[in-house]
Structure 1
Amino acid sequence: MSDSRDANYYRALLSHRSVSRRGLLRGLFGAGKKIQQQIDESVIKRSDGRPPQAVAEALFMHLCSGCGDCATACPYGIISLQNNRPVLNIDFSACDTGSCLKCTEVCSTGALSFDIVADTSFNPIISSSCFGRRDASCRMCSYSCPPAALTFDALNQPIIDETDCDGCGQCKTACYHGYISLEPGIPRLTN
């Protein structure tokens, strides 16, 4: 009996031609929420670092011509081309996201833009073997962090402020024990 009620209900609902204001707004806002969810789900996460000031990944992949001008302009030699796309290698030198940005200056396609906050999309991961976790004898990573995004709490646990960390890699290069690794994440495009 409930099946016939359901069928009658849907038949009456579909034959109803006028839309209430509430129904119209619910439909419009519901569609907006669904579109926002699809956009959030479609954020592309790279498996490697991005040049600082790179636009959103999908647009970056479309705009970047793979010319290599950014790699040539980088005074630290950390940008290289792999499959005609620039990637960062911050193993032995860090990116000066605060003042250099030579890569953005030479980019003619708009894939790198001064309108975007400088962020390489790298996230520092600090090993449990870190000497700074044991006592305050080593804080080289914290001292070398230009935006002061890496600090240690009273229990010697590292705290990374993700809103301030730009993925420059200064902490990794300062750690002479090799207890910091950088893993690609989702870049900050705005402050």
Structure 2
Amino acid sequence: MVRRLLSIVVLTGFAGVLPLIAQAEASACSCVYMPDDPRILEQVSHASSVFTGTVVSERVAGQTAFFEFEVRDVFDGDVDGTTTVSSSIQGPACGRGFEVGTEYLVFASDYETNGADFSDNSCSATTVSTNQRTRDAATTVYGAPRTVTVETGTAVESNGVRVWGGIAAGVVVVGLITFGFVRRPSSRS
């Protein structure tokens, strides 16, 4: 009887200690963005910079992937014509992957960039640029995007630049016509 009780105590003790010495299983990231979530406006508003860009290259260093983007439009933030976004390569760490050649609507962070311009993870609202619901939400929160100019690599108000550029060109043309074709009376005697 004592042996039986001792066996039960040892087995119970072993069963209680086993979970403490066994390796814990990593859980997957639970904050993945869902475009159909009714809180979409709240979700898209959590970014330090928002832009549309195409991934042109990828490199991995340690546990971090670095993605180079050619930026087309900027909704918010100080984003150049080309920018680098980092992300963990581990899914349980909420890492995000991007496919080279695909255009994304990126909701980037300036937290834990690992030397890149920005960082991103699967908790952000980042999605392919054709996701109209997310694009509409971004426009609602940040306003219409600014187009990135190729010459300077910076985002500008596309409508304002075009209007003022057109006005300036018109003034130059009118000036050239006026001074080039209007002849001053010559003093012939």
Q: TM-score, normalized by length of structure 2? A: 0.22
Which structure: larger Rg? 2
